[in-house]
A = this chain, B = another copy of it.
Amino acid sequence: MPLAFAFSQQPIDTAAARDELLRDPAAGGYVSFEGWVREFNEGRQVLRLEYEAFEQLALKEGARIVEAALRRFPIRHAHCIHRVGSLDLGELAVWVGVSAEHRGEAFEACRFIIDEVKHRVPIWKKEYYRDGDSGWVNCEHCAAAPRHLHSH
């Protein structure tokens, strides 16, 4: 199996990642989440974005999240891949895949992983807007009024 949590500079190969999880003949259910770069975020028109990670710690924290999911839910396998670098509209930013014998746990574990990754893993997203402005999501207005995590 590949690393439980990984970064990718290249477009994420979801088919290959999925096939890894499904090699296990006991995994009858598979749930995946994909987060895509979309044109609008909170009403602003996005042109592209950049993800930056503190990889040394992010890889550890991401792996801890996947390991926690494996302990907490009776699932077979779980894996998360996050893009870093410059992304255009329509690109895949993050993928989570979970296989399990039973579907309920696969859904719960997949959601747990993406929620935790968004809250705990040191990854930052800078959006470049059509109006020429740009900003670090959750961060640019921190000094004025702290904003809480944006979910999508």
Number of identical monomers bound together in the oligomeric complex: 2
Q: How many of chain A's residues have a CB under 8 angstroms from any CB in B?
A: 31
Q: How far is the CA of A55 from the CA of B36 in the complex (A)?
A: 34
CB of A84 to closest CB in B, whole Å: 18
B33 and A152 contacting across the interface, CB-CB below 8 Å? no
Q: Convert A108-152 into 0s and 1s, putting 1 for each residue whose CB lies closer than 8 angstroms to a CB of B.
A: 001100100000000000000000000000000000000000011
**Chain A positions near chain B (C-beta within 8 angstroms):** 15, 22, 25-40, 89-90, 101-104, 106-107, 110-111, 114, 151-152
A/B interface sample: 7 pairs, CB < 8 A: A22-B90, A25-B90, A27-B38, A29-B36, A32-B34, A101-B152, A102-B152
